[in-house]
Amino acid sequence: MRFIEGKYDIVVIGAGHAGCEAALASARLGLKTCVLTLNLDSIAFMACNPSIGGTAKGQLVREIDALGGEMAVNADKTALQIRILNEGKGEAVQSLRCQCDKNAYHREMKRTLERCENLRILQGEAEEILTENGRVTGVKTTYGGVLECEAVIIAAGVYLNAETVTGDVRKKSGPSGFAPADKLTQSLIKLGYSVRRFKTGTPARLDGRTVDFEKCQRQAGEDGVPAFSFLTKNPPENVRECYITYTNARTHEIILGNLDRSPLYNGSITSTGPRYCPSIETKVVRFSDKQRHQIFLEPEGADTDEVYVQGMSTSMPHDVQRDMYRSVEGLENCEIMRYAYAIEYDCIDTLDVFPTLEFKKVKGLYTAGQINGTSGYEEAAAQGLMAGINAAFKILGREPLVLGRDEAYIGVLIDDLVTKGTNEPYRMMTSRAEYALMLRQDTADFRLSPKIMGTPLFTEEREQSYRARKAFYEDALLRLEQRPDTKKCAKFIELKEISGSAAGATYADLIRRGAKITDIDGFFAVMDGIPADIAKSAETTIKYEGYIAKSRQQTERQKKLEEKKLPDDIDYSSIGGLRLEAREKLERVRPLTIGQAGRISGVNPADVTVLMVWLATYKK
C-alpha cells in the first residue's frame, strides 16, 4: 500500500543554507511547502567557519536580503564580530563580514522555519524523485512515504554519498558526524543528471582555554559598521575578538615529512577540491617559497570555548595534526576538540540546468547550493532563494526571475554555473563580476528590491525600509549638486588642499576633485539628517559616475544580445559556418539567448556572428 506522507506544492530536500532560503521563499510566496532534512539538528548548520560574508560574499548576502531572503537577518541576530574587508581599496570590492555564533545561528533559523506559515519541517531521507511524463510528481523517502508535489528543489549540500577522510581512515559520514544521504544519487542519474565527485575540508577546532592568545595578534571588530540586513535597526555589537598567528618552518617540516600519509598526496583522495580554499599541506607544497602562512583563530560561539583555526584545513592523520597545530606560535599547548577532515561528495554538472536552476530534462525539478558544485554558505543561500522563487513563480504562472550579470552578483554566480559550468568547487569573487562598480553592497536594495514588489516577499517592513533609504539617497544626491557659498568654499579648498577654483563649484565637484563626504559635511553641514551610510553611497556614486556610465553603455549593448532569443529546438549541427568546438559546446549548454551563447567557453565572436545571421534567416 502506498503511504502518502502529504501533498504539497513544493518539496525542498535539505535544510542547509540553500534549503532554508528555498523553503522560506516558497512558503512566503503562499505555496504549501515541505522541507525534508536528514536531521533537524543540522538546519542551517555551519559545518565550516561560522562566519557570514567576506569578499564578494558580503555582496551576495546583501542581495539575498534585498530579495526577501533570511541570511542577512539571521547573521545580524547572531553576530559576534563584524567588520568591513578591503576598506583600503575601492568601494566596489569592499565587503561586510561577520563572525557568527554557530549554535545560535542554527537555533534562530530553525525557529524562523518553524514559525513560517505554509511550511512543514520533516526529518527523513529522500530516496527517489518521482516523475511522470517528464514532470515531477513527488518525493519518496527511505521509509516508503511519498510527498506529492508539483516541484522539487534539491539542496542536498555535501551529503550525497558523503565520505570523510582523515589519514587512512575513511568513513561514510556527512559533515561533523551527521549521517550521509546514500540513496538519492542513483535517482538523479536515472533522471539524466551528470554526476561527479568534489571534495572540501575543514580544520580542527581547539579548546580556547589551551591557546595562548597573548602570543597572537589581536583582531577586533569595527564599530559603526552597517548591518547586513536593510531591516536591522541597530548594527550588531562586537562582543568577541579574533586573533592572527602564522605557521613556521617547523610546521612546514612536519607537513612535508608526512606527505606520504596525506590522503591528498598518497592517492586516497582523487576528487576535485577547492582552488581558493586549499588545505594547509597544499599551500605548503604549492607555495614552497613562502616561509609562513597566515592563520586566523576565530570563536565558534558565545557559549563555547571552541576555536576555529581558519587557514589550516587538513586531512592528515590525528597524530600529525596534533604535532602540526602545536608547532604554531600560541598553539604550543593546544588541545584539539574536533580533528580536521576532508569530505568527498556527489554533485551535478550545472550545464544540465537552466538559468532558473530548473533541470533541463525534468520539469519542476530544481537544484541549489553545493549540489550545483559551489562552495560557501552565501553562494548556497543565493541559489536556494532563486530556486525557491522560480519554482513558486512557475506554479503561480508568473514570469521567472533571472538576474543579469549587470544586476547582481547572484546573476554572475548563476550565469557562470549554467553557461560556463565548473570543474571545481565554485567560489564567488569580485573579479568574476565585470560590472562590480554597479554591484556594490550598499546599493543592493536599490537594484533588487523592485524585482519583488507586488509579492509577499516585499513585506510592509521591507517596503518602508526601501522607500526611506531611496528617498534619503536621492535627497543626498540633490544636495550634493548644490553650490556652497563661494567664499566658504574657497576656505575649504585651501584647508583641504584641493585643486581648482571655488567659482561655480558644487559639492559634487569637490568630491570629484578628491574631497571626502565626511570632510564636506563637517565643514558645510550639507548632509544634516542623512544617514552616514546613505551619504557614503551618494559620495561613491558621484566619485565613480564616469566609470558607471561607461559600464551602463556596455550593459545596454549586451542587453540587445540577451533580447535575441534562440529557439528551444535549434539543431546546431545543421548551422553552416559554426566551428566543431562551438557546435559541441552550444549543443551541450543549449543557451537561451545570443548573449548567453557568447559567454560559453569555446564559442568565439565569429560563432556568435554566424548564430545572429542564422537567427535573422530563421525569423524570416
Please report the pLDDT score of residue 92 as a whole number.
Answer: 87
So what's the pLDDT on residue 458?
98
First to last CA, the chain: 56
pLDDT at 403: 97
| Mean residue pLDDT across the chain | 95
Neighbours of 322 (CB within 10 A): 17
458-510, pLDDT tens digit by residue?
999 999 999 999 999 999 999 999 999 999 999 999 999 999 998 999 999 99
Domains assigned to the chain: 205-344 (2.40.30.260), 460-548 (1.10.10), 563-619 (1.10.150.570)
User: What pLDDT shows up at residue 90?
Assistant: 85
What's the pLDDT score for residue 224? 87
What confidence category does residue 33 fall into, taking pLDDT thresholds of 50, 70 and 90? very high
pLDDT of residue 87: 86
Report the distance separating Cα 407 and Cα 594, nearest Å. Answer: 18
Q: What is the predicted pLDDT for the residue at 356?
A: 98
- Tell me what the mean pLDDT of segment 416-429 comes to: 95
pLDDT of 55 above 90:
yes
Instruction: Give pLDDT, residue 1.
Output: 59
* 34 and 73 Cβ atoms separated by less than 8 Å: no
* Average pLDDT of the residues in 137-147: 97
- Evaluate if pTM is beyond 0.75: yes
Res 620 pLDDT > 80: no
- HSE-up of residue 369 (Cα within 13 Å, Cβ side): 28
For the chain, the 3-state helix, strand and coil shares in percent, each to the nearest 5, are: 40, 20, 40
